[in-house]
Amino acid sequence: MLDPAFTLRIPDGDGRPRKICDHCDYVAYENPKIVVGSVVRHGGKILLCRRAIDPRKGFWTIPAGYMELNETPEEGARREAFEEATAVLKIERLLAVYSVPRISQVQLIFRATLETPNILAGVESLEVRMFSPDEIPWDELAFPSVHWALRHDFEAEAGASPAPFGNPADATGDRMPDGRLLPTDEF
């Protein structure tokens, strides 16, 4: 078995350097990745999951993850909520489209409700819990975009325009709201 080995080269007919295999000339195109997730409400409370895996193990997040092949964004958001919290969602609408260009991520975040009140931690969660708005553990959230999504969901709940939110002004997703820079491997 060979070791994987790639060199950055510009393929014929392309304009940018791509990862090309030294052994077989396979072009490993890298594309931005789509994260799908939801702010999930039930009985005035919001579902959060405490992460059982790195990055940001032990911190709280909304149910979200990488979109898979051959699903719609809504299907992906429902799948992630089921995997992480055994939660069965009814998707209401698109809440936000965020982007974190440094790590080439686009996030599609929906507003959703629980079809049934049953939640249970999946293998990627240490614990899952419904938080009332004044209980949200703001200092223990996993990622900047979890802050953004919760803030934006409160604005939506208060009657903001149905246009989806984007990144807060000047926010690129590299720092937590307190200004702390996240190490690259924490994404």
Q: Which residues bind a second copy (CB under 8 A)?
A: 1-5, 16, 21, 23-26, 28, 30-34, 66-73, 75, 93-94, 97, 99, 101-102, 104, 106, 108, 161-164
Report yes or no: 174 and 181 within 8 Å, Cβ to Cβ: yes
3-class secondary-structure state, position 38: strand
> Which CB sits closer to a second copy, 72 or 132?
72
> Which CB sits closer to a second copy, 19 or 117?
19
Report yes or no: 40 and 47 within 8 Å, Cβ to Cβ: yes
Least separation in angstroms between residue 99's CB and a second copy is 5
β pairing state of 33-42 and 105-114: parallel
DSSP one-letter code for 139? G
Least separation in angstroms between residue 11's CB and a second copy is 13
Least separation in angstroms between residue 21's CB and a second copy is 7
Alpha helices in the chain (DSSP H): 73-85, 144-157
Biggest CA–CA distance in the chain, Å, is 59
What distance in Å separates the CA atoms of residue 79 and residue 112, rounded to the nearest whole number?
13
Least separation in angstroms between residue 106's CB and a second copy is 6
Least separation in angstroms between residue 134's CB and a second copy is 29
> Which CB sits closer to a second copy, 83 or 127?
83
> Which CB sits closer to a second copy, 27 or 129?
27
The CA angle 28-29-34, to the nearest 5 degrees, is 125
Nearest to 76, CA basis, from 40, 124, 109: 109
> Which CB sits closer to a second copy, 54 or 134?
54
Least separation in angstroms between residue 165's CB and a second copy is 10
> Which CB sits closer to a second copy, 164 or 177?
164
CB contact set of 184 (below 8 Å; sequence gap of 6+): 103
